[in-house]
Structure formats: structure tokens, C-alpha cells
């Protein structure tokens, strides 16, 4: 193991500069990765928001269709009752 007390100052400066450069590079890599990941998160959030909006729209459409089906069922029921009443009267 190297004792830092016996090293020449120039050697220690070179080690310091090397470590500093490696740390700066690692920091840049982390920032770049974070930027990419934030972009992916933003894209996923946008997709989720769009899908939620589409889901809400489809739920509304489904409710409207269900309401229409109920109205038609009531009309059919009313017509059926009217038809049965006419058959009984005749």
C-alpha cells in the first residue's frame, strides 16, 4: 500500500486531478441518465393522461349507449303491453 506521506506532491496532484476528472465524468453521466429518464417519465405520464382521458370518454359513451338501450327496452315493453291489450280486446 502506498503511504501518501512519502509521495511527491506532483504525484498526489496527479492522483487528485485523475479522481476529480473521474468524478466529473461520473457526475455528467448521472445527469445525462437522469435527463433521459425524466424524458421517459414525462412520456409515460403523457401516455397515462391520454389513456385516462380516452377511458373517461369511453365510459361516457358506454353510459349513453346503456341509457339508449334502457329507453328502447321500455319502448318495446310498452309496445308489447299495448299489443297484448289489443289482442285481449279483439
How far is the C-alpha of 34 from the C-alpha of 70, rounded, in Å? 53
Contact between residue 12 and residue 4 where contact means Cβ atoms under 8 Å apart: yes
- Cell of residue 20, nine digits: 476529480
- Cell of residue 80, nine digits: 308489447
- Cell of residue 85, nine digits: 291489450
**Per the confidence metrics, is the pTM higher than 0.85?**
no
What value does the mean pLDDT of the chain take? 91
CA distances from 75 to 9, 40, 84 (A): 97, 52, 14
pLDDT digits (tens, 9 = 90+) for 22-65: 999 999 999 999 999 999 999 999 999 999 999 999 999 999 99
pLDDT digits (tens, 9 = 90+) for 70-83: 999 999 998 888 77
Amino acid at each position: 500500500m502506498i503511504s501518501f506521506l512519502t509521495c511527491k506532491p506532483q504525484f498526489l496532484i496527479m492522483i487528485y486531478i485523475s479522481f476529480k476528472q473521474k468524478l466529473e465524468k461520473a457526475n455528467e453521466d448521472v445527469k445525462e441518465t437522469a435527463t433521459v429518464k425524466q424524458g421517459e417519465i414525462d412520456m409515460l405520464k403523457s401516455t397515462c393522461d391520454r389513456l385516462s382521458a380516452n377511458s373517461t370518454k369511453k365510459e361516457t359513451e358506454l353510459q349513453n349507449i346503456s341509457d339508449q338501450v334502457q329507453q328502447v327496452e321500455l319502448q318495446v315493453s310498452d309496445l308489447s303491453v299495448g299489443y297484448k291489450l289489443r289482442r285481449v280486446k279483439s
